[in-house]
């Protein structure tokens, strides 16, 4: 065993992408196993590796972890990206959960029928610009610090930059009303581990395409 | 300010119920403000107390917390229901993730059309008995201890009991293939704080009825039916 965390998922973003981001942000190298067939997935289940028969699966520190949030919380806790006390944790958790609701809309988008896509895109834009981005714009403006919580780089910052970039892929000018977030995006992108993750050749996955959607439907077919 | 946590939500289960369970399990008294009108909700919104314009919202320790999972994690940690170290936390988080998914299916249920309700009920039972209950049955069987994690009462136990009772409301004999869970249910139900919460007159909320659905729809202006996954 290499000692590196091992990620099992499809070869695409989905629910594993925030985990890739957080490990990369923490400077942790990891291995990946990509599910390409239903048979591979069925075998994982048969071998008892998936507590609730689902991926993501992350093998880390002798554990076979499932449930995205559990995995992210563990990584954040282990690599000191979870604030210095219970109250900072609470803020990080609130921010991350909010961003996660926005990311859920983006996650589901490729699987919506063609006729619903325009409406869903409008919803993403509406939520991003009226519900989520204003909150973080205000947080950054009020304390004037570089990071969302406790004047220190944390899981919340990683999750926010992931979300900003994901929304920008769909709505390129989405940050136009948010000067604090523009500055935040630049600052966080320049953190060495993040900068490295944003370069070609990193484990970061591209936006989901038709082939990815096909693979998901094939692997998880009932 | 009384110093007690104050919960802002509808007068019903929804996303707040797990929070009520956890506070009760920890022996923490709390106050509740029930949303009944659109005006109340708009007042909360305008007052800036809902970070993402949503409830649940819990005023606790000088914070206005939103996001159910964040609130639950805070309470669990504060009242020592979150394990003794990072690895026990990880297990608790995993187990709670599972019961959260299962209860999520049930939570949406009242907002489905009549036709989708039948399908969803079958779906809930199928997932409970083939995915979730077997996982917890095995955990308990493998270590033979009274509690899910670290031989110590935790959030994971509270959440699992809540989920079991909810599924039983849909199919009363659903635990028939799960002897460990039957014993678990009896044990956890007799813990004094839990026992008290299960008695009439506690702040536990009843199964959602039409009046509850109508209130939620009216306050949130959510007039469409949800669709099953």
Whether A59 is covered by a domain: the verdict is yes
β-pairing, A6-10 vs A31-35, is parallel
Q: Tell me, what's the pLDDT at A126?
A: 97
Distance of CA A83 to the CA centre of its chain: 19
Residue A65 phi/psi, 5° resolution? -85, 135
Q: Give Cβ neighbours of residue B228 (< 8 Å, ≥ 6 apart).
A: B108, B112, B116, B119, B120, B123
Q: Give Cβ neighbours of residue A105 (< 8 Å, ≥ 6 apart).
A: A120, A123, A124, A127
DSSP string, A11-70: SS-TTTHHHHHHHHHTT---EEEEE-SHHHHHHHHHTT--TTS-S-EEEETTEEEESHHH
- The pTM (predicted TM-score) of the whole model is 0.97
**DSSP state letter for A199:** S
A31 lies in the same domain as A94? no
Q: How far apart are CA B53 and CA B224, in angstroms?
A: 19
**Is any Cβ of chain B less than 8 angstroms from the Cβ of A72?**
no
Identify the CATH number of the domain defined by range B6-79+199-220.
3.40.30.10
| Residue B198 half-sphere exposure toward CB, CA atoms < 13 A | 15
The residue ranges of every structural domain in chain B are 6-79+199-220, 86-190
**Is any Cβ of chain B less than 8 angstroms from the Cβ of A94?**
yes
A114 lies in the same domain as A156? yes
Helix (H, G, I), strand (E, B) or coil at B220: helix
**Is any Cβ of chain B less than 8 angstroms from the Cβ of A86?**
yes
Identify the CATH number of the domain defined by range B86-190.
1.20.1050.10
What's the CATH code of the domain at A186? 1.20.1050.10
Q: Across the interface, which of B67, B68, B135 has its CB nearest the CB of A51?
A: B135
**Residue A161 belongs to what domain range?**
86-190
User: How many folded domains does chain A comprise?
Assistant: 2
A166 lies in the same domain as A95? yes
Whether A161 is covered by a domain: the verdict is yes
* Chunked mean pLDDT (size 10), chain B, 229 residues: 88 98 98 97 96 97 98 98 98 98 95 92 97 98 98 98 98 98 98 98 96 96 79
* Chunked mean pLDDT (size 10), chain A, 222 residues: 88 98 98 97 96 98 98 98 98 98 96 94 97 98 98 98 98 97 98 98 97 96 83
Helix (H, G, I), strand (E, B) or coil at B63: strand
Residues for chain A: how many in total? Answer: 222
Q: Are A212 and A17 in contact (CB under 8 A)?
A: no
Q: Across the interface, which of A53, A61, A69 has its CB nearest the CB of B69?
A: A69
Q: Tell me, what's the pLDDT at B222?
A: 87
**DSSP state letter for B27:** T
Cβ <8 Å between B69 and A70: no
Residue with tokens 């964040």: B70
Cβ <8 Å between A93 and B69: yes
Q: Across the interface, which of B65, B90, B101 has its CB nearest the CB of A94?
A: B65
> B65: which strand partners?
B58
Cβ <8 Å between A94 and B89: no
The token pair at A90 is 């609470």
A151 lies in the same domain as A75? no
A95 lies in the same domain as A179? yes
Q: How far apart are CA B128 and CA B119, in angstroms?
A: 14
Q: Tell me, what's the pLDDT at B227?
A: 78
Q: Tell me, what's the pLDDT at B226?
A: 78
Whether A61 is covered by a domain: the verdict is yes
A71 lies in the same domain as A94? no
Nearest to B96 by CA among B151, B44, B135, B43: B135
Residue A83 phi/psi, 5° resolution? 80, 175
A23 lies in the same domain as A38? yes
Whether A149 is covered by a domain: the verdict is yes
Give A109-161 pLDDT, tens digit per residue: 999 999 999 999 999 999 999 999 999 999 999 999 999 999 999 999 999 99
Question: Which residues in chain A have Cβ-Cβ distances shorter than 8 Å to B73?
Answer: 73, 89-90, 93
DSSP string, A99-165: HHHHHHHHHHGGGS-HHHHHHHHHHHHHHIIIIIHHHHHHHHHHH--SSSBTTB--HHHHHHHHHHH
A177 lies in the same domain as A108? yes
Q: Tell me, what's the pLDDT at B229?
A: 63
A121 lies in the same domain as A52? no
Q: Give Cβ neighbours of residue A202 (< 8 Å, ≥ 6 apart).
A: A24, A196
């Amino acid at each position: 065993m290499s000692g590196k965390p091992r990620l099992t998922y499809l070869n695409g973003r989905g629910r594993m992408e925030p985990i890739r981001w957080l490990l990369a942000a923490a400077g942790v190298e990891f291995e990946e196993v990509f599910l390409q067939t239903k048979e591979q997935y069925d075998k994982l289940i048969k071998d008892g590796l998936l507590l609730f028969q689902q991926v993501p699966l992350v093998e880390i520190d002798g554990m076979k972890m499932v449930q995205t949030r559990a995995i992210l919380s563990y990584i954040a806790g282990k690599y000191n990206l979870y604030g210095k006390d219970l109250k900072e944790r609470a803020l990080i958790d609130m921010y991350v959960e909010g961003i996660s609701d926005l990311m859920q809309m983006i996650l589901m988008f490729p699987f919506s029928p063609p006729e619903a896509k325009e409406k869903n895109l409008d919803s993403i834009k509406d939520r991003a610009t009226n519900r989520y981005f204003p909150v973080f714009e205000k947080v950054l403006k009020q304390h004037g610090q570089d990071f969302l919580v406790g004047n220190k780089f944390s899981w919340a910052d990683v999750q926010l930059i992931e979300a900003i970039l994901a929304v920008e892929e769909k709505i390129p000018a989405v940050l136009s009303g948010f000067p604090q977030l523009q500055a935040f995006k630049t600052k966080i992108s320049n953190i060495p581990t993040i900068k490295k993750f944003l370069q070609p050749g990193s484990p970061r996955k591209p936006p989901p395409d038709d082939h990815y959607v096909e693979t998901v439907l094939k692997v998880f077919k009932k | 300010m009384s110093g007690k946590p104050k919960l802002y939500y509808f007068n019903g289960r929804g996303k707040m119920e797990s929070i009520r369970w956890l506070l009760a399990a920890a022996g923490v008294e709390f106050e509740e403000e029930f949303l009944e009108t659109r005006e109340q909700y708009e007042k909360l919104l305008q007052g800036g107390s809902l970070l993402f314009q949503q409830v649940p919202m819990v005023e606790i320790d000088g914070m206005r917390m939103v996001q159910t999972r964040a609130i639950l994690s805070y309470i669990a940690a504060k009242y020592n229901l979150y394990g003794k170290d990072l690895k026990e936390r990880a297990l608790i988080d995993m187990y709670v993730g599972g019961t959260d998914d299962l209860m999520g299916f049930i939570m949406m249920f009242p907002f489905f059309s009549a036709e989708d309700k039948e399908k969803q009920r079958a779906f809930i039972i199928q997932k409970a008995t083939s995915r979730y209950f077997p996982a917890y049955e095995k955990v308990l069987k493998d270590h033979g201890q009274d509690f899910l994690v670290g031989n110590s009462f935790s959030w994971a136990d509270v959440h699992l009991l809540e989920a079991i009772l909810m599924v039983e409301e849909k199919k009363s004999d659903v635990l028939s293939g799960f002897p460990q869970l039957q014993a678990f249910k009896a044990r956890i139900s007799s813990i004094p704080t839990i026992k008290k919460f299960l008695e009439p007159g506690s702040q536990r909320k009843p199964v959602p009825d039409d009046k509850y659905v109508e209130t939620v729809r009216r306050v949130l202006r959510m007039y469409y039916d949800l669709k099953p996954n």
